[in-house]
Amino acid sequence: MKSVCIISQQSPYASPRAKEALDAVLVAATFDIPTTLVLLGDGVFQAIKAQAGEKIHQKHLGKQLAVLPMYDIETLYVSEQDLACRGIKPEQLMDNVHVLASQQLSHLIRQQDIVISL
């Protein structure tokens, strides 16, 4: 079974792209494909704990990310550098989020068989 890495680089509510990346992750996980989700760039905004998407009549994306462990996706990864330059601290993120330096992330991505950036 090939492993899949989904890279999501979009903030959560401006466009459907973040949601689509999450859908792709869930679909892959449903088929028992080893799946890794990496949030880069503005994608790090998806991992903020205090989201309330319902205020703008959208699904709460953070809550959906939080249930990923139920699909055997124990960790999602965010870039330390991308967090820092957007003024977000790791403690402001959800519990199942792993903060990694760019170099480690780059290494992690290279270990996967298939990389899809959404």
Partner 1 sequence: MILHTLNQASEKLIQSCSDTMVAGDSLLLIEEGVYLGIQETISMKLLAMHTEINLYALKPDCIARGIKALLFPDIQLIGYPGFVKLCTEHKQVISWY
Closest CB 42 distance from partner 1, rounded Å? 8
Q: How many residues does the chain have?
A: 118
Q: How far apart are CA 49 and CA 7, in angstroms?
A: 19
First to last CA, the chain: 22
Of 20-28, 48-56, 60-68, 104-112: span binding partner 1 (CB under 8 A): 104-112
Closest CB 56 distance from partner 1, rounded Å? 23
75 binds partner 1 (CB under 8 A): no
Two structure tokens written together for 94: 């959800």
46 binds partner 1 (CB under 8 A): no
15 binds partner 1 (CB under 8 A): no
Triad 4, 9, 10: Cα angle to 5°: 125
33 binds partner 1 (CB under 8 A): no
